[in-house]
Amino acid sequence: MLLRIPATSANLGPGFDCIGMALDLYNYIDFEAVDSPGALSIEICGEGQHSLSKDETNLVYQAFSRVFAGRREPIPGIKFKLINNIPLARGLGSSSAAIIGGILAANFLLAEKLSIEEMLDIALEFEGHPDNIAPALLGGIVLCTANNQGFHYLKMNPPEGIFCTVLIPDYELSTKKARDILPGTVPLKDAVFNIGKMGLLINAINTGNLDLLKEAIDDKLHQPYRCSLIPGLNDLIILAKDSKVLGLAISGAGPSIIIFHKNDDLDEVMLFQNYLLEKGISSRLINLKPVAEGAQLV
């Protein structure tokens, strides 16, 4: 069986830990149950083929085995082939793709006994925040809010006519490092600033009024603190305000930068890459579109 799991971009500027978007860049997991219980074989092609573990510590297998352990069922023998296109540690949801892929493979072997909520809850144990795992599983743009029982999600369809270019710098940044730099508390005025921006962002998504994005995509809760880990980011944020693009933000915890545009602004987008290059930071550009479909068997 072959699973396809999308990359994701979390936060979208003001929605720190609350919103994420599925993108048309995919990891694939080819999986096959084998007769001897507990047996494991993992082959990896593409991103992480030389760095990711191929034993029980592999994240896909950890998520896969967690599903069976939670149900007190024996872990079946399994052969995985991971075809990875999502760059690692760049803010594009590679860990979430692995976690969701492992859970879905397990759920398939369990004849789909798990609900969406159960799968999200298990994934949350690994990731700690839902804004990448929810769009990886559900697709589209997913708003996540906490409630007493766990978290509540709302899926929105991506607006028509929005294109994304992701600038992927040639260095990695671990989510842990990018979270450790954040303060434990923020000024009330910064929280109020983000609430307003988040309202505008949701309105832009739901009405398709993409011109609102320029105003909506600001943030004071995480990006200012992460600037020191992502050289050039602050300048790019300022440059984006005066450019034709719709908006620019850190993708997830970074270091990738996502630029929203209407697909007629590619020359403008290249200026951001050139600006980084002049500062000695090389990066690659990939052009992506938001997708409404989440992880699925193909």
β-bridge mates for residue 30, sequence order: 2, 81
State the number of binding residues for ligand HSE (CB under 6 A).
13
Which one, 81 or 177, has the nearer CB to ligand HSE? Answer: 177
131, 218, 219, 265: residue in contact with ligand HSE (rule CB under 6 A): 131
- Phi/psi region, residue 208 (left: phi>0; alpha: psi -120 to 50; beta: rest), is left
Instruction: By CB under 6 A, tell whether 101 contacts ligand HSE.
Output: no
Q: How far is the CB of 18 from ligand HSE (least distance, A)?
A: 8
Give the range of 174-182, 206-214, 229-237, 273-281 binding ligand HSE by CB under 6 A. Answer: 174-182
CB of 239 to ligand HSE, least distance (A): 22
197 interacts with ligand HSE by CB under 6 A: no
Phi, psi of 140 (to 5 degrees): 70, -150
When CB distances to ligand HSE are compared, the closest residue is 253
From the list 66-74, 158-166, 173-181, 262-270, the region that binds ligand HSE by CB under 6 A is: 173-181
- With CB under 6 A as the contact rule, the residue among 222, 229, 245, 288 that binds ligand HSE is 222
Contact flag: residue 253 with ligand HSE (CB under 6 A): yes
Per DSSP, helices labelled H in 208-262 are: 213-216, 223-226, 233-241
**Beta bridge mates, 250:** 257
For position 65 contacting ligand HSE by CB under 6 A, the verdict is: no
Give the Cα separation of 64 and 57 in Å (integer).
11
Tracing tokens 């096959």 back to the chain, one arrives at 32
> Interface with ligand HSE includes 4 (CB under 6 A)?
no
Min. distance of Cβ 88 from ligand HSE in angstroms?
13
Q: How far is the CB of 186 from ligand HSE (least distance, A)?
A: 14
Residue among 10 and 233 whose Cβ is closer to ligand HSE: 10
Q: How far is the CB of 129 from ligand HSE (least distance, A)?
A: 5
Residue 271 Cβ vs ligand HSE, minimum distance, rounded to whole Å: 26
CA dihedral 128, 134, 140, 141 (to 10 degrees): -40
Cβ atoms of 259 and 248 closer than 8 Å: yes
| Alpha carbons 79 and 81: distance in angstroms, whole number | 7
If one asks whether residue 11 binds ligand HSE (CB under 6 A), the answer comes out as yes
> Which token pair is 108?
């398939």
Is residue 10 part of the contact set for ligand HSE (CB under 6 A)?
Answer: yes
Options 169, 252, 290, 294; binder of ligand HSE; rule CB under 6 A:
252
52 is an interface residue for ligand HSE by CB under 6 A: no
Per the CB < 8 A criterion, the answer to whether 252 and 283 are in contact is no
Torsion-angle region of 11 (φ positive above 0: left; ψ -120 to 50: alpha; else: beta): left
Residue 108 CA to residue 10 CA, distance in Å, equals 27
Cβ contacts of 74 within 8 Å, gap of 6 or more: 37, 38, 68
Q: Does 17 bind ligand HSE (CB under 6 A)?
A: yes
